[in-house]
Amino acid sequence: MKIGVLALQGDFALHGRALDRIAVESAEIRRAADLDAMDGLIIPGGESTTLLKLMEAGEFVPALEKFHANGRPIFGTCAGLIVLAREVLSPRQFSLGFIDVTVERNAYGRQKESFESEGEAILDGEPGPLRMVFIRAPRIRRLGATVTRLAAYGGECVMAREGSVLVATFHPELTDDTTVHRYFCRMVEAAS
């Protein structure tokens, strides 16, 4: 199993380190053609508008559409969630529409309102605590009928899945807890 981490912008190196901690091979993806050799892909946090411009310049959109159509799992955190959402608010912008959620950009506030807290996740059938770091985080405002809520903070959904697409409003790569990355790796194994 080899997981790519989109390395155009954002905190991609930390996702690579999280995968290293669970002994999963990863590669930084800087060209669309590099996706062909990957079994799964992480789209990290960063700035969604910048990320979309870089993806467009690198002709990533058709390659990602093919990757998704082939059922290969994709995990988006923070800006990655915004890129993958069906609908984006504040302001409206292009997104790939791979998961049926509506997301509001920067809904938890600006950089100075960033925070770390504990939420609850249900990743293997049993609820448990999960450390979460929110940095200019988006909010999931709507879940489609086939989207599963996997984690909550303050009663709101902060992590969800639809088929081969996993998204989180927070940054699991900024903690020492590898629970979320291990869950995504199991998705990739099951899809292979």
Catalytic residue of the set 15, 78, 162, 181: 78
Task: Please indicate whether residue 157 is annotated as part of the active site.
Answer: no
Task: Please indicate whether residue 68 is annotated as part of the active site.
Answer: no
In the block, tokens 């069906």 appear at: 86
Catalytic residue of the set 104, 171, 181, 185: 171
Catalytic residue of the set 15, 68, 162, 173: 173
φ, ψ of residue 155 in degrees (nearest 5): 80, -5
HEC string of the chain equals: CEEEEECCCCCHHHHHHHHHHCCCEEEEECCHHHHHHCCEEEECCCCHHHHHHHHHHCCHHHHHHHHHHCCCCEEEECHHHHHHEEEEECCCCCCCCCEEEEEECCCCCCHHHCEEEEEEEECCCCEEEEEEEECCCCEEEEECCCCEEEEEECCEEEEEEECCEEEECCCHHHCCCCHHHHHHHHHHHHHC
Task: Please indicate whether residue 78 is annotated as part of the active site.
Answer: yes
Question: Which active-site residues does the annotation give?
Answer: 78, 171, 173
